[in-house]
Amino acid sequence: MALRVVVSNTSGAPIYDQISTQVQTAILQGDVEAGDLLPSIRALARDLRVSVITTTRAYQELVAAGFVANVPGKGYYVLPRDSELVREQLLRDVEGHLGAAWATARLAGIDRSELHALLDTLIDTPEES
């Protein structure tokens, strides 16, 4: 399991949200696999130097989102990825990025057609490996 969580007190995002988001990303990217045991709430809190309440909230968010399950007395385990759940999460991420791009484009005076042309160019440009 390659779970690495880094929190920042200056990011503006609540620490529990930073933890939850980073664990979700690790699961979606396959860095953490179904059946993997997450660090205990206390161990993660100690490693990150945050409150146990903070890590508990982060894990509760992960349970509510369907990424992990709590096995009482054992810990939190990563659930098998539901392809529809993964797609929905990634779609939300894309919408967020596109929303930010549109806001930036408006600030730069870029109109809808220019933004569409830019997006088409990005889509048509092959990715470099």
Domain holding 34: CATH number?
Answer: 1.10.10.10
The answer to whether residues 100 and 45 belong to one domain is: no
What pLDDT, on a 0 to 100 scale, did the predictor assign at position 92? 85
Does any domain span residue 1?
no
pLDDT band at 128 (very low <50, low <70, confident <90, very high): low
Q: What domain range is 73 assigned to?
A: 15-78
* Dihedral pair phi/psi, residue 37, rounded to 5°: -90, 125
Confidence (pLDDT) at 50: 96
Same domain, 28 and 44: yes
The predicted structure's pLDDT at residue 90: 78
Q: What pLDDT sits at residue 83? A: 67
Q: With 80 as the cut, is the pLDDT of residue 129 above it? A: no
92 and 70 part of one domain: no
Say if residue 47 is in the same domain as residue 99.
no
**Alpha carbon distance 36, 111 (integer Å):** 46
Dump pLDDT digits (tens) for 18-70: 999 999 999 988 899 999 999 999 999 999 999 999 999 999 999 999 899 99
Given a cut of 90, whether residue 3 has pLDDT beyond it is no
- Flag whether pLDDT at 1 surpasses 70: no
Q: Is residue 91 located within the same domain as residue 105?
A: yes
Total number of domains constituting the chain = 2
Burial 36-48 (b: 16+ CB within 10 A, else e): bebbebeebbeeb
Paired with 71 in beta bridges are 75
Give residue-wise pLDDT tens across range 57-107: 999 999 999 899 999 999 999 998 776 777 887 788 889 889 999 999 999
| Domain-embedded: residue 60 | yes
